Amino acid sequence: MKPIENSLVRPPALRADSIPPHAFFLVSAVFHYLGPAFAVLLFQYADALGVAWLRITVAAVAFALWRRPWRVLRAASAPQRRLLVAMGAILALMNSVFYLAIARLPLGTVGAIEFLAPIGLAVLGLRDARNFVAMLAAVAGVALLTDVRIGGEPLAYAFAFANCVLFAGYIVIGHALARDGGAAGIDRLGAAMLVAMLVAAPIGFREALPAFHDLRLLAAAIGVGICSSVIPYVCDQLAMARLPRSTFALMLALLPAMACLIGALVLQQIPGTLEIAGIALVIGGVLLHRTASAT
């Protein structure tokens, strides 16, 4: 898959090269779980598909105001537009099935299933025994942090596994968008988010209508969009631009650990011994992983 040319857009330079890419990932991980905290309020008044569309739309509007991503769509060649449309469709469907899954299953269960995608990509990027041990440590840590109970909700699990597959696509295409620089990747992400808004509209717009009658719900929708689809996705692009795909995929194992830490700090959900052990294994796996020179 060929990267989109730098000549598409000439964004202002980002002063991000001096910041370690792992820092961007950690910011993404934190905001990845603040978004669902806002979504809890919306689930009481709007259908899951409506919440997904609101999240995508808020993000699309934010990117439009910030980056003017329609320039990317206008300047792109036919193959480049196909890449952007593919990413937009993935974002729309991934967010939709994710919310359909967490409306029926515990977030930890959906997160554990979702983790199968990045760990599969990490396996593909393995280079030596050290990385294999790192992967095993991360998997063991996630197993301790998540309580997966299969049964009773076949449709919900179908949504969760569909989200897993789409998440793998997000990682692969996200790296293609970020291949020649984080700033250009952000512009392309904004263009893909505009596509995602249009793709998700037929299945989510009607369900989102109740939120337009309550300013509190709209405020929550803005929080969901910014925390779930702007800050983390931008940070992902800045990290993907400088991290090999296998390294980024393995670092996603930090997400369950981050959820546990946020629960302790924000919700006073103090982790037990097994959870602390899981956090240690996940972080140990990430630290042990040897970065490949290319993917």
For 142-155, the pLDDT digits (tens) are 777 666 555 567 88
Higher-pLDDT residue of 295 and 117 is 117
> What is the pLDDT at residue 6?
44
Q: Indicate the length of the chain as a whole number.
A: 295
Q: Where does the pLDDT of residue 289 fall: very low under 50, low under 70, confident under 90, or very high at 90 and above?
A: low
- Whether residue 90 contacts residue 174, with contact meaning beta carbons closer than 8 Å, is answered with no
For 66-90, the pLDDT digits (tens) are 988 888 888 888 888 898 999 999 9
For 3-19, the pLDDT digits (tens) are 444 444 444 444 566 67
Q: Where does the pLDDT of residue 183 fall: very low under 50, low under 70, confident under 90, or very high at 90 and above?
A: low
pTM, rounded to two decimals? 0.78
CB within 8 A of 265, min separation 6: which ones? none
For 253-281, the pLDDT digits (tens) are 677 677 677 667 765 667 778 777 877 78
Average pLDDT, the chain: 78
By CB neighbour count within 10 A (0-12 exposed, 13-18 middle, 19+ buried), where does 126 fall? middle
For 213-265, the pLDDT digits (tens) are 888 888 888 888 998 889 988 888 888 777 776 677 667 767 767 767 766 77
With a cut of 70, say whether residue 211 has pLDDT above it. yes
Percent of the chain with pLDDT over 90: 19
CB within 8 A of 259, min separation 6: which ones? 33, 107, 108, 111, 145
What is the token pair recorded at 31? Answer: 């905001």
Three-state SS sequence of the chain = CCCCCHHHCCCCCCCCCCCCHHHHHHHHHHHHHHHHHHHHHHHCCCCHHHHHHHHHHHHHHHHHHHHCCHHHHHHCCHHHHHHHHHHHHHHHHHHHHHHHHHCCCCHHHHHHHHCHHHHHHHHHCCCCHHHHHHHHHHHHHHHHHCCCCCCCCHHHHHHHHHHHHHHHHHHHHHHHHHCCCHHHHHHHHHHHHHHHHHHHHHHHHHHHHHHHHCHHHHHHHHHHHHHHHHHHHHHHHHHHCCCCHHHHHHHCCHHHHHHHHHHHHHCCCCCCHHHHHHHHHHHHHHHHCCCCCCC
